């Protein structure tokens, strides 16, 4: 049973790290969007596309955080 908890904890940690990386990447993309568009000489619609991608990353992360929370609660019972 101890082996099962260790594997489960590693799985939770891996999913948490991935979620954290997605949040960080989405935030950096949103912050750098105007600069990226200006440097590459892209139309303004590409800036909005980057913002929508960042928003999608944040929604994905929120869903994953909720899943982690539920899995953690279920594993403690």
Span 43-56, average pLDDT: 97
Position 4 scores a pLDDT of: 61
How far apart CA 26 and CA 60 sit, in angstroms, is: 10
The one-character DSSP state at 65 is H
Position 44 scores a pLDDT of: 95
Please determine, for residue 75, whether its predicted confidence score (pLDDT) is greater than 90. no
Taking alpha carbons only, the member of 16, 4, 6, 30 closest to residue 66 is: 16
Longest dimension (CA), the chain: 57
Span 60-66, average pLDDT: 97
Number of neighbours of residue 70 by Cβ within 10 angstroms: 10
Tens digits of residue pLDDT in 1-49? 456 678 888 989 999 999 999 999 999 999 999 999 999 999 999 999 9
């Amino acid at each position: 049973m101890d082996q099962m908890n260790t594997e489960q904890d590693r799985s939770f940690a891996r999913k948490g790290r991935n979620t954290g990386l997605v949040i960080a990447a989405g935030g950096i993309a949103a912050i750098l969007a105007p600069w990226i568009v200006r440097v590459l000489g892209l139309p303004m619609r590409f800036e909005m596309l980057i913002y929508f991608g960042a928003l999608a990353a944040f929604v994905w992360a929120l869903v994953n955080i909720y899943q982690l929370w539920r899995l953690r609660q279920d594993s403690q019972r």
